Structure 1
């Protein structure tokens, strides 16, 4: 099957190499356990920034440790590479699994988000929204590779 919208298969390995360490460090960074100290003095251009002590900035520069932004971007890029790289033998069956997994991940992601909107508030909801940036891709990856594993296991038993 010819698909132009998927990355080549070798991007999957690159994606895992990026995703695993950045996800681990990203979770640690969210809870202030980890940060790159050398980035403490970084002046970053901000479209909008609202700091409790310094006030708000619009179209200006702010001091910010960009560890969490770097790790978030790496997580997203790594997850996209893992999720949307071709399999070695990409066919209609795998395309069907891929599409069904994406729909399933979307439903589950928004069901979780609705639940959290009802029961999480203030800073807790901020954490929910931070993690929600990544959950749809992670749910898709988990579901897609689980269904691939299940289908490979059932076809190997038939042989």
Structure 2
């Protein structure tokens, strides 16, 4: 698996893409920013691509210290993220109708990488804090 990961420098590139894209997407979705015509399409596409690629670079780049525990945390986070994603998808499919489901479908496109980023980062923070406490 370590051969499949991006170099550590891609993590910074990922954060630079992920955070602004996520903020721009929220501003557009909640109507704080609005665009007309083809510019709206370009902005929407850029937001989705920025979130997806940013999340990919953040979670699929090596950590400064890449060991077996990091790989184990990455794999467990992926599995947990898929469980949460599928649970939300099933729950929203059952509970939401028409316009509400359409709004969820927009979020659903980028939900898995967002869940994975949050889960992996929180688990890595917990692991690093535990290692510091042991010293």
Determine which structure has the larger strand proportion and give its number: 1
TM-score using structure 2 length: 0.91
Separation in structure 1 between the aligned mates of residue 7 and residue 34 of structure 2, nearest angstrom: 33
Matched residue, 1:75: 51
* Unaligned stretches of 5+ residues in structure 2: none
Matched residue, 1:135: 111
Separation in structure 2 between the aligned mates of residue 35 and residue 98 of structure 1, nearest angstrom: 37
| Pairs aligned (count) | 135
Structure with max Cα Rg: 1
Asked if the contact 1:15–1:82 (Cα under 8 Å) also holds between the matched residues in 2, the reply is yes
CA distance change for structure 1 residues 5 and 36 in 2, over 3 Å: closer, same or farther?
Answer: farther
Q: 1 or 2 for the larger relative contact order (CA 8 Å, sep ≥6)?
A: 2
Matches of residues 80-119 of structure 1 in structure 2 within 5 Å?
A: 80-119=56-95
Three-state SS of the structure 2 residue aligned to 1:66 is helix
How far apart are 1:148 and its partner, in Å? 1.0
Matched residue, 1:22: 21
TM-score using structure 1 length: 0.78
Three-state SS of the structure 2 residue aligned to 1:21 is helix
Separation in structure 1 between the aligned mates of residue 38 and residue 52 of structure 2, nearest angstrom: 25
Matched residue, 1:3: 2
How far apart are 1:30 and its partner, in Å? 2.5
Asked if the contact 1:30–1:68 (Cα under 8 Å) also holds between the matched residues in 2, the reply is no
Q: Which runs of 4+ in 1 moved over 4 A?
A: none
CA-to-aligned-CA distance 1:6-54 (integer Å, 9 cap, x gap): 11101111111111111111122233432455xx346xxxxxxxxxxxx
Separation in structure 1 between the aligned mates of residue 25 and residue 31 of structure 2, nearest angstrom: 10
CA-to-aligned-CA distance 1:101-134 (integer Å, 9 cap, x gap): 0000000011011110111111111111111111
